[in-house]
Each structure stands twice: as C-alpha cells, then as structure tokens.
Amino acid sequence: MAMPAEERSAKSDSVLEVRGLSIEFRTPTGSVHALRHIDFDIPRGSVVGLVGESGSGKSTLALAIMGLMPGNAVLRDGSIRFGDIDLRSLRPAALRALRGDRISMVFQDPMTSLNPVRSIGDQMTDIQYRNGTSMPDKRRKAADMLRKVGIPDPERQLDRYPHEFSGGMRQRIVIAMGILEQPELLIADEPTTALDVTMEAQIVQLLRQLRGEVNTSILFISHNLGLIAELCDFVVVLYAGEVVEQGSVRDIFHRPKHPYTQALLECDPVRIEEVRRELPTIPGDVPNLLKAPAGCVFAPRCPKMFDPCAIQHPADYETSPGHVARCHLLGALPS
C-alpha cells in the first residue's frame, strides 16, 4: 500500500521536513536532474543517516537544506521546512541568521574547511557575532566547547592556527564550531571520510556523546554503512537522486526491501565472510541524470528486474510503519 507523504509527516515532531524536493543543475548540455521528489523527515533529537554512492546527490541535498547551493543549481520543486519555517521562502538575510545558530554543517575534509590565516579563537568568536556578549565571554564559550570535543588545554589552543593541528583535531574543532550555538540541526557531510579509522571511531564516538549532551538532531551523510549502523536511528538510502528506501536502522539493515539496499549491504566489506581476490560490486553504472529514466532508476542494474521496471516508475510502498521502499516487487507481492 502506498501512503502519501503528507500523512506520514503529521505523526511526529520533526526538526526538518523535506517534501517533493527536486533540484536541477543547469549545464551547457542540458539540465541534470540531480534530485527528484525527495521526501524525508528528521525527527527531533534523532540521528538520520543518508547513504548513497558518489554522485547520488547526498551533498547537493545537504547544501540545499543550508541554502548554499552553487549558482547553477535550481530548486525546481518541493519544500524544506525547518520546524515551522519554510526555508525555501526565506530571504537570504533571514536564512543567514539561522545558519550557525539553529542549523550548522560540518564538512568532509577538515584540512580545507578552516580558514588557514585566522586563529581558531578568532574563527570561533566570529560565529558568536549575534550574541552581543563581551570578547572574554566569547572566548570562554569557545574554550568550553573545545574542551567538550576533547581538545586538551583549550585556552591556549585558541591562539593557534589551523595548520598547527592534526586532521583529527581539526575535525574536532570544526565540530566544536558547528555545535557552538547548540543548533537544532547539525548536518555532517561525510565528516570522517578524510580521516583514518582510529580517528573515525573517535569522531563517531564524539558525535554520539554530543548528541546526548547538546540535544542536537544530526543528518549524518556517509557511504560507510558501518558508521551509519553504529550512529543513526533512521536511514535514508539515496540512489541517482531518488530516495529508494528509508526506515529505521533495524529495518534497513535487517529487513532491506529494495534490491539496491540489499546489493549495497552485500557489498559492505565488513560483511564479507569468504575471502576472494575481488571485492563484490554492483555491476553497471549510475544512470545519466541528464535524462531521468521513465521506469525505476535502479532497473538497469537490478538483479530482480521484471517487466514493469523499465516502463513504469515505481510507487512508494510502506512495508511496516516508517519503512518505505520504492520498488515494483513490493507491489507485486500479495499484501
């Protein structure tokens, strides 16, 4: 049974509601339909994982929420609601007032996401420009936050420059900057991809701990299924600009319904039991989004493809409360 998005949304208090969001990139060869009819919620206080392979639109979605899309991107359709604010209708100045205060973002590479010529303290006191507190207060608040993310001797570190810190430390600083104003929503765009495995575990541990302390909802973007399983409450699976499946972590990892999710889980190196020379992959390529396919986006690569897949776009089927997959197979099953 398909269920309209509006009914699902009314159920719980959400920090973020994305409805029917479509984004195109204008290029010399035509419009690239990067995101098509995205629906998902971030319930207050939860961590939502966004998984997908490279080019599936994960970062585009994050930047669209922040209102920081590149110049050639067009928000074609849909709405993004943050609490009771419609982000799409907000003027730039009003949107800027939200950023860093109620929504903030942590980027992928900590080596490039700090300004190299300004000290950590300067950058952290800058963010507090709205507070109207005195400079010593701002520095104290910055130092407290650095201590919270596990940076030793924070008062001294405020006068140091980004190049004096290691990658892991920098990512901690970036996270500290992100949660400095205790935002309601933190978007973490692959925050551990540029770090080694030990640092990755520490950063995930840190995010989990902060989530309890600061009560921030997190949109955690990653292609690392292990991290998603460890950290998140809900998972949204993105494929070629469409949400193909979403549900609770338990549903996605134990009862995946969409063939793409199933294939993705089978490819996770951690799950491989038998040692082979080659890692498992999903054969085929991501479709060219200059012209979105009429049928299911995953059909060309799908092992379970059957007649309607190539012609008709599948509807969303809710297999259990909150667990939705977009696949014809679910409609074909006797309900």
Q: What does the binding site for other proteins look like in residue numbers (CB under 8 A)?
A: 63, 66, 68, 71, 96-101, 104-105, 107-109, 111-118, 123, 126-127, 129-130, 161-163, 166-167, 174, 177-178
**Taking the complex as a whole, how short is the minimal distance between the CB of residue 328 and other proteins, in angstroms?**
39
The four Cα atoms 51, 56, 62, 65 give a dihedral, to 10 degrees, of -120
**Taking the complex as a whole, how short is the minimal distance between the CB of residue 3 and other proteins, in angstroms?**
34
Contact between 208 and 191 (Cβ < 8 Å): no
* Dist. CA 176–CA 143, nearest whole Å: 10
Sheet holding 30-43, edge to edge: 30-43, 14-27, 73-82, 85-86
Cβ closest to other proteins, residue 179 vs residue 263 = 179
Cβ closest to other proteins, residue 137 vs residue 164 = 164
Q: DSSP character for 273?
A: -
Cβ closest to other proteins, residue 59 vs residue 222 = 59
Cβ closest to other proteins, residue 105 vs residue 299 = 105
Cβ closest to other proteins, residue 185 vs residue 225 = 185
Kind plus residue range of the DSSP H or E element containing 93: helix 92-98
- Where helices occur in 268-319 by DSSP H, the ranges are 308-311
**Taking the complex as a whole, how short is the minimal distance between the CB of residue 63 and other proteins, in angstroms?**
8
**Taking the complex as a whole, how short is the minimal distance between the CB of residue 127 and other proteins, in angstroms?**
5
Kind plus residue range of the DSSP H or E element containing 138: helix 135-148
Locate the DSSP E strands across 92-160: 103-106
**Taking the complex as a whole, how short is the minimal distance between the CB of residue 165 and other proteins, in angstroms?**
8
Q: Which two tokens stand for residue 153?
A: 């001797």
Contact between 265 and 271 (Cβ < 8 Å): yes
**Taking the complex as a whole, how short is the minimal distance between the CB of residue 62 and other proteins, in angstroms?**
9
Contact between 47 and 25 (Cβ < 8 Å): no
Q: Which two tokens stand for residue 299?
A: 């059909």
**Taking the complex as a whole, how short is the minimal distance between the CB of residue 320 and other proteins, in angstroms?**
35
Q: Which two tokens stand for residue 219?
A: 């949109």
Cβ closest to other proteins, residue 97 vs residue 294 = 97
Cβ closest to other proteins, residue 176 vs residue 296 = 176
The residue assigned the tokens 């134990």 is 254
